[in-house]
Amino acid sequence: MVTNFRPHPKPPPAPWRYRGSRLESPPRCTLTWSRIRRPAVPELHEAGSTRHQSQGMFFSVCYDSVSLHESERSMTARILDGLKIRDEIFAELKDEVRLLAAAGVRPGLAAVLVGENPASQLYVKSKIAACEQLGLSSGLLTPPESATTRELLAVVDDLNHDNNVDGILVQLPLPPQVDTKRILEAVDPSKDVDGFHPVNLGRLASGRPGLVACTPAGCMEILRRGNVPMEGANAVVLGRSDIVGKPLALLLMHANATVTICHSKTRDLPEVVRRGDIVVAAMGKPAFVEADWIKPGAAVIDVGTNTIKDPTEAERLLRNFPARLEKFRAKGSVLVGDVHPAAVNTAGALTPVPGGVGPMTITMLMSNTVKAARLRRASPAVSTSQSTASAR
């Protein structure tokens, strides 16, 4: 026990402050009511907590037993786990599929995969596997890489008239000779489980029920099930694509958030992002959003999935994450989002990459397929029994 320890008689006003993504401490060892640094006195550090008298006032001092760097790392955001939410929704969908099956309806998804793009093959395979897991029927059509717009329109037309098919998935990208917009617009809007058809986008814009694009719908499920308040919140969406940015901005607006859409021409982007209680990053640029752009306590939805293979870039992004850096060195690549990994020390809640938004995209594709089957083929009695996700 140290009995004659005294604080500095005139402690300078040196508040804790953020510089970049690091929390810096005052240059001196000072004691105040709200900012306390561990002194370089071993006995006092070991005591952990003691009482001191200064100018007739008693006050307690508690000293942390870890370094500042370790303290920073422990102040992490709450993780919005997309895998956990996926499992919750899958459990709900299985119940709904059983009810539909009892009524003689088995939801069906047909995927159209043109050519032999390895990435597209992997995506479609994972979607077919999800159908099998939930008890949905599925079919895969594989026109050759040389397929024309006319030939693909005929394939889509056949699927539109097949009553056993509730959802039609045209895997993108299509070959350059194909008019992608014509193909997507040829899909029956009631079977458009990707939510890309202009009719479904128009329904979303006007607040009418319809099939919503999967990634934005998944982001909303993460926010709802993660208990992130949206009503009255300032939401900042980075990215204005037809697939993610625009639909998600509309969904947030319908949830009574005040929405700002940012893009490449937005002025003073960091300051705009700092006003967000909810920040959605969907630009496809690795670690573009710096940690100090994030308002402390904000909820961050990171839609980006970017592969880093450059060792220098990996060292720069992951220097404070030794476990992930070791995995990079062993594997030679690492996935990062559009938000800098250090944002975990600033945000209040955050989706990880991987394991955040990614699993939710396929989840909502399954949800849309079940919803389409219910709306198209189920009786009113069955339609009243629906999962939370497919009801939206």
SS3 readout for 141-202: ECCCCCCCHHHHHHHHHHHHCCCCCCEEEECCCCCCCCCHHHHHHHCCHHHCCCCCCHHHHH
What span, in angstroms and rounded, lies between the C-alpha atoms of 116 and 27?
61
Which residue in 166, 192, 194, 338 is the catalytic one? 194
What span, in angstroms and rounded, lies between the C-alpha atoms of 343 and 320?
11
Angle formed by the axes of helices 358-377 and 118-134, nearest 10°: 60
Q: Specify whether 127 is catalytic.
A: yes
Q: Are strands 278-281 and 299-302 parallel, antiparallel or unpaired?
A: parallel
Which residue in 127, 191, 295, 371 is the catalytic one? 127
Query: Which two tokens mark 114?
Result: 């043109």
> In which element (H, E) is residue 312 found?
helix 311-318
Query: Which two tokens mark 225?
Result: 């099930």
3-state class (DSSP) for residue 275: coil
Q: Specify whether 194 is catalytic.
A: yes
Return the amino acid letter for 100: L
Which residue in 166, 171, 277, 371 is the catalytic one? 171
Q: What would the DSSP string read from start to end of 48-114?
A: -EEEEEETTEEEEEE--SS-HHHHHHHSPPEE--HHHHHHHHHHHHHHHHHHHHHTT---EEEEE--
Q: Residue 218 in contact with residue 282, Cβ under 8 Å? A: no
Catalytic positions:
127, 171, 194
